[in-house]
Structure 1
Amino acid sequence: MSTQQTDAPGRRRAPWLVALLAIALVAGLALGAGVARAGLLPEAAAPTPTPTEVVVPHPTVTTDSSTPRTCSIADDVTSADALDFHGIVERADTGEVLFARQENEATPTASVMKLVTAVTALTTLGADTRLPTTVYPGTEAGSVVIVGGGDPTLRSQTTSYYASATASISELADAVTEAGGATTVGYDDSLFTGDTWQSSWNDADRIDGSTSAISALMIDAGRADPTTEYSPRTLTPSEDAADAFANALGADVDDSITIEPDSEPIAEVWSPTIEQLVETMLLDSDNVIAEVLARLVAIELGAGSDFDAVDAGQQLALDALDVSTAGFVGADGSGLSRDNRGSAATIVGLLELIDAGEHDLGVLRDYLPQNMQSGTLETRLDGVPDGAVQAKTGYTDQVYALAGFMVLPDGTQLTFAILAAVPDPDSDATTTSLANRNALDAAATAIYDCGVELTNR
């Protein structure tokens, strides 16, 4: 039985990206063999492009409103536990800014960076795109090569933490066995280049199960226990995937084996759609999915295929969406890096696109956690009616962040981004605590309580 998926959705590029990609191609981008097999554009042959900074001024605070605004949250945002508070709150129906504090100043983002990753992945890669894992004949008799296309949800077993996972090692092995079997397995993870571990990450995040080393060839997003969300993760994802595939075939691994030139695939399986991966990333704040998506965006836009390319890729995609990149640094796609920076105004700019449904981004609204109901907000903001807040959470030792939407009792919607950051985020000595998260939640609750009467004073 062949696992070649002949009706897999093709890569769909948004119309506004056609001109950008055409320019990149004219500039001399060459297709690489490994990447072409994976169905993605390769790393650019030319140097990584320098993004042009596009600064879109955010509306200034105004008092032009038919509703008197006399409700202040000053005590909440200036408390010691609120740290160095950044934020902006606006009415979605009028665009009126009700509150703003350091809204244009870049600050650490934590996992709110995943809003950037979600928006750029959908608009650059296409919602229906799927990622292949492919097997080719190898250069030695009886050998095959498994080629990673970026699917971090590839299953090693029957069950997986990822309910939406659609591809498995056993499916690939069954197809190879039907085609005659193999005695030796090689592997190709060349779609992603450079280091597999971001240098500013804390290894504690791997040990506690928050993230893994990143490769284009992975199983179970690097988990030791594929069924548990927070399971210790691997530093050798490619080797682990190759071992699992070889074991399923009863074969050995030989990393010197390469793809037989001009050969056709023996087997191929496909990931969930980009939209499904984004949904899991936002609800569960999944760091590995975020890193894979950010890398694929960089590759698609010709920015490169390593960690250093992520920032350029994100900025190119944001520029094309006319979202401010002033002060923006996308050191990774998950927000784990201490080097990430973004402003509340940039984050709200993304939320405005989501709320307007531009570029088919409206679906992201449904994938944001809801207070006291789902995802990373399931046990938070109990002072607000259940489900009234839909927002992306964020936490590192530098910052607590929250960004999304509030629906008031009368149906009026507020769009907001608030961040409580340590005063000196570049210092390794600083760290956040639960008290800071509680202060951020108190500010969010106060914003809800004030509603349209919120004042910047």
Structure 2
Amino acid sequence: MKSQKAWWITAAAATAILVGGVAAAGVAYDRAYGDLEHEPAFELAEPEELMEPVDPVALDQAARDRLAAGLQGVAGDAELGRFGAIVTDAASGETVWSVEPDTALRPASSTKVLTAAAAVAELGAEDRITTAVYRGDNPGQIVLKATGDVWLNADSLDELAAAVRASGTPVEEVAVDVSAWSGERILAGWDPVDVDAGFVAPLDPVMINGARIDATEGDVPRSHTPAADVAAALAARLDAQPAAEPTAATVPAGAEKIAEVDSPTLGERIDAMMLDSDNVMAEAIGREVALARGETGDAAGATKATLDVLAERGFDTTGTDIHDNSGLSVDNRITPRLLDQVLHYAATDTELRPLLTALPVGGASGTLAERYGDLPGRGWVRAKTGTLDQTSALAGVVTSENGHQFTFAFISNDVDVLAARAGADRLASLLREA
């Protein structure tokens, strides 16, 4: 105690000397420079408004006819295969040009336009998924209730582990309840090889970074055991062990909740899904809508919920038949008109506006980053792509040089994909010049 007191007295004296020295220096500087004069502080003027939002200008009939003729000419020269298309003037709602717009074609990942639209309409852009942890039946066991958050990451797992510790619950074993989702984990029409290629993962209702292995984004190999990986990661943070069969548990009736963590907002999750056309995220969002509507948490429930939401809001789903929410299924069929209707509504009503802001930009981001080159649509076309064997789709919005705004949907089947992409990009660029 005496040595501590002596240390404190010495430190206090040193601090007093330091403070006194600083004060003395301050007085000296004030005497030496106190009479200096200077100009008033520089004030930055308010910047002028560089851009003001404007309402799109409708095309007159003559301009509409010229644009339609130009689009027809480009389509005639391009290699578009079995082709369906529609272009709509956003200001008037009038169809500018179309080719077989009501023919249901294989849409590939443009299916995600419907998935995102139904989710925002049904749940709102601020919706979040809550993942909770409960006490298990056995002493020392906790059970994570998986409800669809495939966006878990290191930070959210750290947060969850900290909350478990704060609860004071002793933890020896971690399990996961995956009963929220049902049905096949690899859907009909999917290739299991695509798990290792990074395009899909077995559909468990909780994953870390979409089940990517040693990565947070991109088409990298994905885990074949996403939910079990979550149990292992949480257990490691708690100095515990994953259960012997980590996904065989269920949350006991009336169990005490001891921790929880929320996902990013739906708007943020749709941004991530659309940017790189993430199939796992699309399937998770589809099931989120299904569960919110009381449907089954499988592909059938998710696709039914998606189309039901759209039909209830007046969209024409005639001829549309989808078997997944990502567009990987070769059996999906969607009409260009339905895609365009959804995009036109998003362009003219704030309810679905998050759908537009999530679309990749030509020559700049996501799946459109490497497209458009020197075409006029570069930086102006916002669209969702779609690619499968012999299938190419592009659906989005363009603002023209003259203040017109267009929504469009182009689908090519039975075609060389690169040739069809080039043709679609030329068509969308012509809209930019209108």
**Could you say whether these structures have the same fold, taking a TM-score greater than 0.5 normalized by the shorter chain as the test?**
yes
**Identical residues among aligned pairs (%):** 33
Q: Which deviates further from its counterpart, 120-129 or 432-441? A: 432-441
- Structure 1 runs of 4+ with >6 Å offset: none
The structural deviation recorded for 1:152 is 0.8
Structure 1 CA distance for aligned equivalents of residues 73 and 183 of structure 2: 47
Is 1:436 matched up with 2:416?
no
Q: Which amino acid aligns with 2:341?
A: G
Structure 2 CA distance for aligned equivalents of residues 257 and 443 of structure 1: 53
Is 1:416 matched up with 2:408?
yes
Q: Deviations over 1:77-118 (max 9, x none)?
A: 245731111100121112221211010010011111111111
Q: Deviations over 1:136-195 (max 9, x none)?
A: 00101111101112111101x35xxxxxxxxx2222222223323311122101111111
Structure 1 CA distance for aligned equivalents of residues 229 and 120 of structure 2: 29
Return the match for 2:160 from 172, 182, 203: 172
Structure 2 CA distance for aligned equivalents of residues 408 and 64 of structure 1: 14
Structure 1 CA distance for aligned equivalents of residues 83 and 300 of structure 2: 29
Q: Deviations over 1:184-234 (max 9, x none)?
A: 122101111111111211234322212212221211111112334121012
Is 1:224 matched up with 2:193?
no
Is 1:149 matched up with 2:147?
yes
Q: Which amino acid aligns with 1:412?
A: H
Change over 3 Å in CA distance of 1:279–1:310 after alignment to 2: same
| 1:23-422 mapped onto 2 (5 Å cutoff) | 65-67=61-63, 69-70=65-66, 71-79=69-77, 81-155=79-153, 157-158=154-155, 168-178=156-166, 179-252=168-241, 253-255=243-245, 257-358=249-350, 360-382=351-373, 383-422=375-414
Q: Any stretches of 5+ residues in structure 1 without a counterpart? A: 1-62, 159-167, 423-430, 452-457
**TM-score of the two chains, using structure 1 as the length reference:** 0.76
Q: Deviations over 1:29-76 (max 9, x none)?
A: xxxxxxxxxxxxxxxxxxxxxxxxxxxxxxxxxx98143724333353
**TM-score of the two chains, using structure 2 as the length reference:** 0.80
Structure 2 CA distance for aligned equivalents of residues 296 and 206 of structure 1: 22
Structure 2 CA distance for aligned equivalents of residues 217 and 363 of structure 1: 24
Match of 1:8 in 2: none
Q: Deviations over 1:397-441 (max 9, x none)?
A: 14111111111111111111111111xxxxxxxx74323322322
Q: Deviations over 1:354-373 (max 9, x none)?
A: 01125x21232222111122
Structure 2 CA distance for aligned equivalents of residues 130 and 446 of structure 1: 39
Structure 2 CA distance for aligned equivalents of residues 68 and 101 of structure 1: 15
> CA-atom RMSD, angstroms?
2.1
Structure 1 CA distance for aligned equivalents of residues 71 and 158 of structure 2: 56
Structure 2 CA distance for aligned equivalents of residues 174 and 181 of structure 1: 13
Structure 1 CA distance for aligned equivalents of residues 60 and 402 of structure 2: 20
Q: Which amino acid aligns with 2:220?
A: S
Q: Which amino acid aligns with 1:140?
A: N
Structure 2 CA distance for aligned equivalents of residues 98 and 212 of structure 1: 41
Q: Any stretches of 5+ residues in structure 2 without a counterpart? A: 1-58
Match of 1:13 in 2: none
Q: Deviations over 1:292-334 (max 9, x none)?
A: 0111112222232111222211121011110011111121111
